[in-house]
Structure 1
Amino acid sequence: MSDEEEDYMSDAFLSKIQDVKPGVSMVRRVKEAMRKEELQKEKNLKNRQKSYKEQEKESREVALQNSISNENKGFALLQKMGYKAGQGLGKQGAGRVDPIPLNIKTDRGGIGMEEQRKRKADEELENYRQKVRAKQQNETKTLEDFRSRVRTEREERKIEADLRRSQRSCEQLDSQKGITTPREDWYWPKGGAEEEEEKEEEEEEDEEEVELTSFDKLQILTSYLRGVHFYCLWCGTTYNDEDDLKSNCPGDTAADHE
């Protein structure tokens, strides 16, 4: 064998051969295609025209971050009347300093619907209190006879259990709506120490104030849950609206669900 000819079994000859493993070129092509696809997605996202709601939200955030300039006509009139930036409104400067916060409505209820529900619940609560006062003033003996005849120990325990259950439901539903303070202190459940303190405060209150029993509280609280949250304690269901509640719920008492 001449020197010019290479031995095909030698290391020099084998090192010149390219090491091609099965499937390597295909994997590289797939990775390259995926990378190009991601780059195209990023490019499309950058070039995508923003929707009207997105543009509106960005404009609103920019406007809220900037304070009112002297070019604003309303602000200019305030300055002519002696107002200075950072000062409270009013002659004594004791009024509002910060602008009224912006509340974006996200649900599909009509404007004023929530206020109407609260007003209706307040009216029902006040009407019920008036009925309780009338009963205590004009039918005290009849009411005591009724309670002594109807309120057995078993019924009292059931009323207390239903009241605690309604308080827990009220706290949960109020929290879901962003309500941080109960309408009445006893609308939400309390600990033992707080209950003792509440009893002492009630004893110190004026004698003319109506003292609500557990039965009265249960009636008021279930009325609140039905009027504001469309929730029935005994059905254990939150209905869509008032019509849905009236159509599918048997009634507003435990006896109606037996």
Structure 2
Amino acid sequence: MSDEEDDYMSDAFLNQIQDVKPGVTMVRRVKEAMKREVKHKEINIKNRQKTFKEQEKESRETALQSSISNDNKGFALLQKMGYKAGQGLGKEGAGRVDPIPLNIKTDRGGIGMEEAKKRKAEEELERYRKKIQAEKQNETKSLQDFRSRVQTEREERKMEGDLRRSQRACEQLDSQKDITVPREEWYWPKVEDDEQTDDLKEEEEEEEDESVELTSFDKLQILTSYLRGIHFYCIWCGTTYNDEEDLSTNCPGNTEADHE
């Protein structure tokens, strides 16, 4: 173990403690011995020979901080050409004043390694930006799809409600004219299965197989036209008009949008 790292329990350290005047307490003697040890280490560090790299670094910093002297050959040539200290380079004196700073290479990477690292970092950054942009676009698209789906479902529920309302109105108005069978089975509200006979079920199943499946939108358009043409009734107005002229004159139109 070196002098800088003496063990406080070693014989050398204990001998130093014994040199202290008798009568001084043990704690105080230990503290004084520790102070002497710290001071001894500071002196050793101060007097330690500097490494080659440290000397080279100090010399370089000293040279960079000092201005170019007249002994420099390049500076002497500039002065012969009319250059004065502190003046910018060039004919107009608008060029560089201070020397180009040094860029000391301290790692073991080869020539061009820094540019390769910089280019790789830029590529990684660009990929990250594209990834974030794609995620944002996906989130925006998902949100738009969700809103569109919700809007479609809301419109479908509204249309189903309007269709049921039209069916009830059709059944009531047909009954007032002693019409006992609807023009189409779906013109009236659906009858529960337990109220239908087996023969009627078979007929409906055959008709459903032969007929083209209509959407709720198609049924609503057909049924509202039937109510307006036969009964002069508008589900949007909720009114039965006297005749076709009264309907066309006082009803805004045959769609819900016309009544908004």
Specify the TM-score bucket, using the shorter chain as the normaliser. Answer: 0.3 to 0.5
Higher relative contact order (CA 8 A, sep 6+): 1
> TM-score, length-normalised on structure 1?
0.38
> TM-score, length-normalised on structure 2?
0.37
Larger radius of gyration: 2
